[in-house]
């Protein structure tokens, strides 16, 4: 995925509506430190205009149309972690080390990997 936007913590926002900024920041730092060649982007789940088409386009390269559409629709779940458009987990459930592990595993054997948190 290319052209991601910044994660913004909304003042007065409800933490249960998505991943905490600390978890996202820690996952981002680990990914950049351990996998410098991976295109890492932090995208707000409410940025549907960018997220759904980008996730669909990336997932479509690896899956059928229906599967890609399913992943694209799930990509707007707050805290979702995507690798090449495919939802692979949740940043809170996985934790920063878990995000690193699933991105590393998904990227093994491929020349380009994009992770969206």
The pTM of the full predicted model, rounded to 2 decimals, is 0.69
pLDDT of residue 63: 83
73-110: pLDDT as tens digits: 888 888 888 888 888 888 889 999 999 999 888 876 45
**Contact by Cβ (8 Å): 117, 75:** no
Closest CA to 102 of 19, 111, 113, 112: 113
Q: By mean pLDDT, which of 9-18, 47-56, 87-96 is the weakest?
A: 9-18
Quick one: tokens of 32? 């950049």
Helix, strand, coil percent values for the chain (each to nearest 5) = 50, 15, 40
23-34: pLDDT as tens digits: 888 988 998 899
Bridge-partner residues for 81, per DSSP?
Answer: 89
pLDDT of residue 36: 85
Q: What single-letter DSSP state applies at residue 50?
A: H
pLDDT of residue 39: 82
């Amino acid at each position: 995925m290319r052209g991601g936007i910044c994660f913004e913590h909304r003042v007065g926002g409800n933490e249960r509506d998505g991943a905490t900024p600390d978890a996202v920041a820690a996952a981002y730092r680990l990914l950049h430190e351990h996998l410098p060649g991976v295109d890492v982007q932090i995208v707000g789940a409410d940025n549907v205009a960018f997220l759904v088409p980008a996730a669909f386009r990336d997932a479509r390269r690896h899956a059928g149309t229906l599967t890609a559409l399913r992943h694209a629709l799930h990509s707007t779940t707050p805290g979702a972690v995507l690798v090449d458009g495919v939802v692979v987990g949740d940043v809170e459930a996985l934790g920063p080390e878990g995000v690193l592990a699933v991105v590393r595993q998904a990227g093994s054997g491929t020349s380009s990997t994009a992770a969206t948190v």
